[in-house]
């Protein structure tokens, strides 16, 4: 039985929606049938048989999810309902109104009736003005539930798909980070030559001891566009809530963001945030161990060595003095050898002369803690420069030895021999793993006791570990014969190619890890990569002995 309401004239708003979730069933007939144009034609055809309904406006949300109702034209439609501009809403089907079971039910069963709005879902044969259909149509809640389940299923599939792409090292962000751009493959980051030069300059300035604020000031002075402005200049449509001025400038925070972003050494980190489920849009930060990290996902702008050096600098206590733009040469590197406190820089003026020295900060706070360990900056400069020169000579000798080994005839035979030795040891590991499995089976059959099993297992594990160490050493020897044993971007090569020893911040940062000062003015310098150099020296000696033995034979 039709309600008397059908005799009145209704001012109708047609609601049309197409979302990303509809695109995911894409290139199918369903997508075509749900297009905005098709929905509009469908509603217009239906209303030809409804003379009591007059269309006032169409409300279109193209590209908006049905999970939530925070959609611009849906909100405009609600406002028009409140302003009495329309009193009827018509959709092609319930899923166009939304895919959230609870929210759709709230609108159909409570809000629309309360506001006196007639609601029609054509394909679902639902018309709130038809009392008989309304009382008998128990299928509506089930359809809403199905739409909700569909949305949940799509959400799970999308999450899973994006997770796979992240793990493959594919970039799925909205905007590439400063210094990179999208290539032909939209999920692959490629270097943006212009911005990449600025990134390199930022790292170089930090290496020289400049503070983040000083770097930002220098970039602004030179008129370098900030990351936000650069993206706008490139026409990306980038916007950020952090921008407080009409034209964003470089800030200390922006510089620090560049210096700490691992993307610049080729590591792609994604999945830092997530939403609890498809209905909740609030993003939550995930713990670091759950982030997805893929190394060598794209070309690096900064070498791993330099990035790690900067990370080390940022962790040190390197506050910039008032009125200065950069830290002093030794800031963060001088340590009292007795109490472990940092050494602080002091100045004393005598007429036109200036005397600079360092003292233990522990003694400065409490003289009972430690003695002053006072040492002049000139003494430090001379001692460290001399030690660096000696270190360079040692490394120069190492380079010559490496060159000799690589130029020695029969290298290909040596490499083949090393490969065979490595393969033999890998076979030994497989053999010991089989023995471990056999021991376990004997234990399960109660042929040996638990104590005996644990004893055998420990012995086999020790042998495997020993073989793995041997394989590692063979690999190092092989690399020595092939490429000299060190990476082209490693700190060692930079050390070897340095021709001048001018003691400045960048030299200190690259080559020295710590400087310990003793009370009697003795200085102990801990060089970076001392273990790497020591291993190289050991391998060189072994190979030289092998070469000498072969020549005798």
- Is the pLDDT at 131 greater than 50? The verdict is yes
Per the model's pLDDT, the better-predicted residue between 532 and 335 turns out to be: 335
DSSP 465: H
- Mind listing the pLDDT tens digit for each residue in 140-172? 665 656 666 666 666 666 777 778 788 888 888
Phi, then psi, of 523 in degrees rounded to 5: -125, 130
- Is the pLDDT at 393 greater than 90? The verdict is no
Query: 210, 504 in Cβ contact below 8 A?
Result: no
Average pLDDT over residues 91-107: 86
Residue-range domains of the chain with CATH: 4-158 (3.40.50.1390), 168-315 (3.90.1750.20), 402-552 (no CATH)
Per the model's pLDDT, the better-predicted residue between 325 and 260 turns out to be: 260
- Is the pLDDT at 295 greater than 50? The verdict is yes
- Cα–Cα distance for residue pair 299/267, rounded to 1 Å: 9
- Is the pLDDT at 252 greater than 70? The verdict is yes
Query: How many residues in the chain?
Result: 553
Position 358 confidence tier, pLDDT thresholds 50, 70, 90: very high
State how beta strands 353-360 and 343-350 pair. Answer: antiparallel
Please give the pLDDT value at position 386.
Answer: 86
Query: 8, 50 in Cβ contact below 8 A?
Result: no
- Cα–Cα distance for residue pair 257/183, rounded to 1 Å: 23
Range with the poorest average pLDDT among 90-104, 226-240, 248-262, 431-445? 226-240
Query: Which tokens sit at 188?
Result: 């692959």
Position 418 confidence tier, pLDDT thresholds 50, 70, 90: low
Position 246 confidence tier, pLDDT thresholds 50, 70, 90: low
Sign of the dihedral through C-alpha 383, 375, 528, 311: negative
Position 482 confidence tier, pLDDT thresholds 50, 70, 90: low
Please give the pLDDT value at position 404.
Answer: 65
Per the model's pLDDT, the better-predicted residue between 23 and 203 turns out to be: 203
Please give the pLDDT value at position 478.
Answer: 64
Please give the pLDDT value at position 149.
Answer: 63
Query: 10, 55 in Cβ contact below 8 A?
Result: no
Per the model's pLDDT, the better-predicted residue between 313 and 223 turns out to be: 223
């Amino acid at each position: 039985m039709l309600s008397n309401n059908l005799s009145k004239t209704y001012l109708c708003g047609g609601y049309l929606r197409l979302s990303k979730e509809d695109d995911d069933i894409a290139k199918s007939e369903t997508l075509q049938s749900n297009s905005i144009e098709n929905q509009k034609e469908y509603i217009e055809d239906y209303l030809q048989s409804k003379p009591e309904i007059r269309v006032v406006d169409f409300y279109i949300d193209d590209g908006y999810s049905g999970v939530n109702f925070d959609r611009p034209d849906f909100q405009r439609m609600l406002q028009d309902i409140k302003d009495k501009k329309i009193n009827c809403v018509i959709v092609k089907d319930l899923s166009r109104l939304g895919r959230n079971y609870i929210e759709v039910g709230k609108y159909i069963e409570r809000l629309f009736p309360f506001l006196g709005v007639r609601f029609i879902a054509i394909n679902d044969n639902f018309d709130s003005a038809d009392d008989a259909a309304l009382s008998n149509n128990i299928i509506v809640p089930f359809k809403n539930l199905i739409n909700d389940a569909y949305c949940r299923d799509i959400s799970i599939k999308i999450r899973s798909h994006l997770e796979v792409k992240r793990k493959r090292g594919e970039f799925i962000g909205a905007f590439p980070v400063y210094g990179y751009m999208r290539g032909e493959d939209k999920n692959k980051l490629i270097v943006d030559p212009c911005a990449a030069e600025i990134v390199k300059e930022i790292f170089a300035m930090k290496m020289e001891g400049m503070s983040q604020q000083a770097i930002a000031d220098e970039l602004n002075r030179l008129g370098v566009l900030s990351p936000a402005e650069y993206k706008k200049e490139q026409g990306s449509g980038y916007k950020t809530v952090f921008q407080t001025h009409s034209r964003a400038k470089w800030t200390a925070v922006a510089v620090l963001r560049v210096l700490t972003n691992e993307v610049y050494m080729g590591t792609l980190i994604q999945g830092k945030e997530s939403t609890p489920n498809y209905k909740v849009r609030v993003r939550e930060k995930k713990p670091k161990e759950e982030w997805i990290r893929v190394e060598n996902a794209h070309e690096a702008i900064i070498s791993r060595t330099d990035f790690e050096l900067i990370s080390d600098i940022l962790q040190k206590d390197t506050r910039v003095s008032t009125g200065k733009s950069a830290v002093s040469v030794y800031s963060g590197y001088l340590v009292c050898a007795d109490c472990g406190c940092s050494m602080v820089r002091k100045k004393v003026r005598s007429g036109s002369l200036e005397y600079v020295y360092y003292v233990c900060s522990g003694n400065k706070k409490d003289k009972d803690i430690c003695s002053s360990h006072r040492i002049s900056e000139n003494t430090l400069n001379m001692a460290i420069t001399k030690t660096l020169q000696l270190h360079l000579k040692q490394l120069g000798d190492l380079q010559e030895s490496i060159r000799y080994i690589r130029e020695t005839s029969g290298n290909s035979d040596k490499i083949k021999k090393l490969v065979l030795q490595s393969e033999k040891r890998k076979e030994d590991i497989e053999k010991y793993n089989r023995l471990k499995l056999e021991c376990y089976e004997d234990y399960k059959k109660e042929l040996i006791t638990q104590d005996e099993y644990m004893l055998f297992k420990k012995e086999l594990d020790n042998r495997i570990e020993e073989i793995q160490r041997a394989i590692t050493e063979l690999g190092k020897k092989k690399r020595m014969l092939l490429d000299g044993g060190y990476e082209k971007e490693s700190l060692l090569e930079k050390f070897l190619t340095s021709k001048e020893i001018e003691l400045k911040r960048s030299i200190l940062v690259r080559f020295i890890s710590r400087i310990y000062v003793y009370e009697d003015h003795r200085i102990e310098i801990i060089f970076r990569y001392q273990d790497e150099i020591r291993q190289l020296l050991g391998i060189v000696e072994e190979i030289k002995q092998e070469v000498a033995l072969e020549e005798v034979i």
